[in-house]
Amino acid sequence: MAALLKTSLGDVPLLGRGKVRDLYAVGDALLLVATDRISAFDHVLGSGIPDKGRILTQISLFWFEKLKPIVPNHLLTADVKEFPAILQPYCDQLAGRSMLVKRAAMFPVECVVRGYLAGSGWKEYKESGTVCGIKLPPGLQDGSRLPAPIFTPATKSQDGEHDENIPYSAVENLVGAQEAAELRRLTLKIYQRAVEHAESRGLILADTKFEFGKIAGGIILADEVLTPDSSRFWEGKAWKPGGAQPSFDKQFVRDYLEEIRWNKQAPAPSLPDEVVERTRQKYLEAFSRLTGQELGS
């Protein structure tokens, strides 16, 4: 089973390649294609994870549908049979891993929400007792549940480097007080809905990030939603504050790269088959646990 690392759609205009997604212009719409690329420590690795792009896309589609009562989204269709004629020769590449979406004016912030202390939040808390300037109670541990979910926005990285946490006041300066308040409200409301669903599946949604845009004056949800690439999903039964939690993401990849003492500089290494397959199984498990479905052939 080969991983799809790069799409090639002939004369369809390529707008850019991110760490995972390739973006194309299709008339008035955009085509988002999730490849099987995987990144770690801000570098795209030499190996992909077979089916990862399909898994991410199908999870996003599941959440877009579930979250419609809260916020509209940018999806036009994910059915390749409904794609424009210019895309039909490439259906084999696109099936299951692509979305035709409306163009939106995107907000220049990552809308991050945390219900648990982990990652960069834990790092800042150890140093200052705060996350994005929000004061938290003393005595919390790595993996602790927060008294209430907090909105901890970040800048969108334009150069592939780390996003930078920013205070809420910076969001107000970027987009205005009214829209900053609405982004925070939507982020917290979506998170609460997702937490309830995850818990019903035996999972903890520790934190996640959303991207929003505007179409015809209204705020819409865009990009990917509540996938293992944008979210920390933990095994509920195994949760124990005081260290790293068993998670549904690329932890096997990070562990391997630490083990071989990679210097985190380009070129990024390739992964052994065992790490690729264990990571693929984690993504597949996340998909089946969240959606109650199995990934189609």
* Locus of tokens 């790293």: 244
Amino acid at 4: L
**pLDDT average, residue stretch 90-105:** 97
According to the model, what pLDDT value does residue 153 have? 95
Mean pLDDT for 94-120 is 96
Is there a contact between 192 and 69 (Cβ–Cβ < 8 Å)?
A: no
State the pLDDT at residue 254.
Answer: 87
pLDDT, tens only, 50-93: 999 999 999 999 999 999 999 999 999 999 999 999 999 999 99
What is the reported pTM? Answer: 0.95
Determine the pLDDT at residue 134. Answer: 93
pLDDT in tens, 130-178: 998 899 999 999 999 999 999 999 997 655 556 788 999 999 999 999 9
Query: pLDDT per residue over 227-251, tens digit each?
Result: 999 999 999 999 999 998 989 988 8
pLDDT in the model for residue 163: 75
Token pair belonging to 51: 């089916």
pLDDT at 228: 94
What pLDDT shows up at residue 120? 86
Determine which helix (DSSP H) or strand (DSSP E) holds 17, and give its type and residue range.
strand 14-17
What whole-number distance in Å separates Cα of residue 131 and Cα of residue 111? 14
Asked if residue 191 lies in contact with residue 151, where contact means CB atoms within 8 angstroms, the answer is no
pLDDT digits (tens, 9 = 90+) for 171-211: 999 999 999 999 999 999 999 999 999 999 999 999 999 99
Residue spans per domain, the chain = 105-238
- For residue 291, what pLDDT is reported? 96
Q: What span, in angstroms and rounded, lies between the C-alpha atoms of 117 and 153?
A: 15
pLDDT at 160: 52
Cα 243 from Cα 94, distance rounded (Å) = 39
CATH class of 105-238: alpha beta
CA-CA distance, 231 to 55, in Å (whole number)? 14
- pLDDT of 252 reads 86
Q: What is the pLDDT of residue 159?
A: 55
Q: How far from the centroid of its chain's Cα atoms is residue 153's Cα?
A: 14
What's CA 152's distance to the chain center, in Å? 15
Provide the CA 63 distance to its chain's centre, in angstroms. 12
What is the bridge-based pairing of β-strands 203-215 and 105-106?
Answer: antiparallel
DSSP state letter for 249: S
Q: What pLDDT, on a 0 to 100 scale, did the predictor assign at position 98?
A: 98
Whether the pLDDT of residue 96 is over 70: the answer is: yes
Q: Other CB atoms closer than 10 Å to residue 4's CB: what's the count?
A: 20
What integer is the mean pLDDT of 101-107? 97
- Per-residue confidence (pLDDT) for residue 42, from 0 to 100: 86
Q: In what order do the strands lie in the sheet with 21-26?
A: 14-17, 21-26, 29-34, 98-102, 75-77
Rounded Cα–Cα distance for residues 96 and 80 (Å): 8
- Bridge partner residues of 175 (DSSP): none
CB 87 within 8 A of CB 97: no
Integer Cα distance of 291 and 285 in angstroms = 10
Residue 84's pLDDT is: 97
Q: Predicted confidence band at 225 (pLDDT cuts at 50, 70, 90)?
A: very high
Alpha helices in the chain, H assignment, sequence order = 52-67, 91-94, 119-128, 168-175, 177-200, 251-259, 273-291
Peptide bond into 267 cis (omega under 30): yes
Rounded CA separation 108/158 (Å):
10
Q: How confident is the model at residue 296 (pLDDT cuts 50, 70, 90)?
A: confident
Tokens read off for 152: 């901890």
The angle subtended at Cα 136 by Cα 132 and Cα 138, nearest 5°, is 135
Q: pLDDT value at position 249?
A: 84
